[in-house]
Amino acid sequence: MNKNNIPKKYKVALLQIKLTKSEDENINKAVTMIKEAAEKGANIVCLPELFKTEYFCQIEDVKLFNYAEPINGKTVQIMSKTAKDNNVVLIVPIFEKRGEGVYHNTTVIIDEKGNTIGIYRKMHIPDDPAYYEKFYFTPGDLGFKSFDTNYGKIGTLICWDQWFPEAARLTALQGANIIFYPTAIGWHPKEKDRYGKAQLDSWITIQRSHAIANGVYVAAVNRVGLEKRNEKSDGIQFWGNSFLASPQGVIIAQASQDKEEILIGEINIDHLENVRRNWPFLRDRRIDAYSDITKRLID
The catalytic residue positions are 49, 122, 159
Phi and psi at 199, nearest 5°, equal -65, -45
Distance from C-alpha of 271 to C-alpha of 152, rounded to nearest angstrom: 14
Q: How many residues does the chain have?
A: 299
Distance from C-alpha of 90 to C-alpha of 35, rounded to nearest angstrom: 11
Structural element, H or E, at residue 197: helix 192-214
- Type of residue numbered 110: I
Distance from C-alpha of 261 to C-alpha of 283, rounded to nearest angstrom: 38
CA nearest to 213, candidates 145, 288, 281: 281
CA nearest to 94, candidates 104, 85, 83, 84: 104
Tell me if 15 sits within 8 A of 46, measured CB to CB. Answer: yes
Tell me if 43 sits within 8 A of 81, measured CB to CB. Answer: no
DSSP per-residue letters across 87-138: T-EEEEEEEEEEETTEEEEEEEEE-TTS-EEEEEE------BTTB-GGGT-P
Phi and psi at 47, nearest 5°, equal -95, 160
